[in-house]
Chain A
């Protein structure tokens, strides 16, 4: 008997030194990541094992192995000297001495105790007496000893004399001045272990002979329900690592969000300044052209390459912006008759519409204020895609376009526009916004995935600032406000097609076009340079934009 006891004890201490963690049910409930709690629970389990041994050793004083077990407990279990319910006794001691009346004390009638201030309890009492600072863990331990929190309703809690946030616990045997009862407050064993203990005590009462064997099997039971320290630490490390990772990802994510917001703000600022800039730039180009025309009309020969100004020229003009601006305004007031046109500040609208019927020879005579407008003439044969769902608008717009020598292809919604642009190339696209099946803005953003070169002009009645930004965001180049006059349409054609060679004619003009290109922007000459240059006016912009932005 004594041998077998020793056997059990050795095994136990071996178990303990190996820091084996009893888990079984515990591990499951402790997938909870707080390693502190796991640790506490580990301690609990160890102390529970202690109590198991104790109950084996000393809990059966009435049995026939009485003396043996007493000896055993004295000789081998110095660490089990404290009572099995030391935890409960500690609390009892604190309460009886009234160490912290403001934090924890008996209730008035002394059959329960109340934690008045969980914060101070956690920061002061737990570290001093229970070697941890986790209130939840304390409560759990209480529950294991069959203590229960006294439940209160919302109203009761408010009316509670110990304060709204107090925690009251009771146990039927845990009462003021009744220390003797403490012996009977025992830790609830998890069901599995309870069986174990019961079996053991039963065995102890029964036969000594089989004791060793039974203890062995009990030990195996425990071992089967344990995880060794190695894997436990591994798991713990893993959990800790995961936590760190999550934290870092959270931080990263927050940073990204902030950055995205910043970028968005910047984007809109840039976009707006671009819009402003574009207007200014167009004005300047218009002025410059006017200047060139006047110079030409006064008999000064200008090299053709200077017509649309090199970046340096533009910059020069930019510095005298205020004066040219006023010039533009002056011209506007005299020549504009369509106040609802967004682009009516644009210089090209100042150019009288050439009468196609009369032929280009008539143009000069019709222009009183501007002499030679040869440069403003539109070449014939541009292929324009008209995307519009309203028959009246289609007829009128295509009529206008044909009058300016364009060939017109009509489709009536955004989807059709996409599919035709996938197959054919156009010099210009005029796109309605509100259309069945797919609106013009969305269609444009899709088209821009495969075609970045063809100028796409929005034709729309809504020309709010926000709408303009939306259209540009979708990749549209410009806006033609509805309803538009012939002049408005012409100014758009001029802006995007002036000095362009229709795609259909490009093969013939290849040589000339490339010479042009070399003069203007030599680095960008490559295979399809003409296509790159479709919106000539636009392409004059970039160098300036770069310097500006």
Chain B
């Protein structure tokens, strides 16, 4: 499975936006909340990578952000989060440079790369959302 083409699955997001009918600003508040949550999660991941280096914690964080990203239709971020989640479980389709599968370092490095990629995707999504709401999110 390769990364989805579109940053945002508008089928999903539109459904949420449609809820604004009886509750103006509902979707925007939800997205604001997500942005907050994503940034916190990215920071937590960064912290794990630098200090405790706990793969299972990274797995949980990946799972967590994957859920909320997917809920809002932010499919590319969700995709990368799933990748982080799998790397936290020491699963990867990519060829592991070192044969030594028990070496956490390899996975930590791969997660670190994935995290950078996630931040980029996050910026893209944020921009697209800001454009939609015509306000800086």
Contact = CB atoms under 8 A, between A and B. Distances in A.
Interface of A: 337, 357, 389-393, 395-396, 399-400, 403, 434, 461, 482-483, 485-486
A483 B70 contact: yes
A403 B26 CA distance: 13
A461 B67 contact: yes
22 contacts: A337-B11, A389-B64, A390-B64, A390-B67, A391-B37, A392-B30, A392-B37, A393-B67, A393-B71, A395-B33, A396-B72, A399-B19, A399-B26, A403-B22, A434-B64, A461-B66, A461-B70, A483-B12, A483-B70, A483-B71, A485-B12, A486-B15
B68 A393 contact: yes
Nearest to A337: B11
B94 interface: no
Interface of B: 11-12, 15-16, 19, 21-23, 26, 29-30, 33-34, 37, 60, 63-64, 66-68, 70-73
Contacts of B16: 396
Interface centre among A357, A390, A391, A399 (most CB of B within 10 A): A390
Interface residues of B, dominant DSSP = helix
B52 to A, nearest CB: 17
Nearest to A395: B30
A392 B15 CA distance: 14
A193 B131 CA distance: 107
Contacts of A391: 33, 37, 68
Contacts of A461: 63, 66-67, 70
User: Lowest 5 A-B CB distances belong to which pairs?
Assistant: A392-B68, A483-B70, A483-B71, A390-B68, A392-B34
A388 to B, nearest CB: 9
Interface centre among B19, B29, B37, B60 (most CB of A within 10 A): B19
A485 B15 contact: yes
Interface centre among A400, A461, A486 (most CB of B within 10 A): A461
Contacts of A357: 21-22
Given A357-B21, A389-B64, A399-B26, 15 more contacts: A357-B22, A390-B37, A390-B64, A390-B68, A391-B68, A393-B68, A395-B33, A396-B19, A396-B72, A403-B19, A461-B67, A461-B70, A482-B71, A483-B12, A486-B15
A395 to B, nearest CB: 5
Contacts of B15: 485-486
B115 to A, nearest CB: 19
Contacts of B19: 396, 399-400, 403
Contacts of B60: 434
Interface centre among A357, A393, A399, A483 (most CB of B within 10 A): A483
Contacts of B29: 395
Contact of B33 (A389, A392, A399, A482): A392
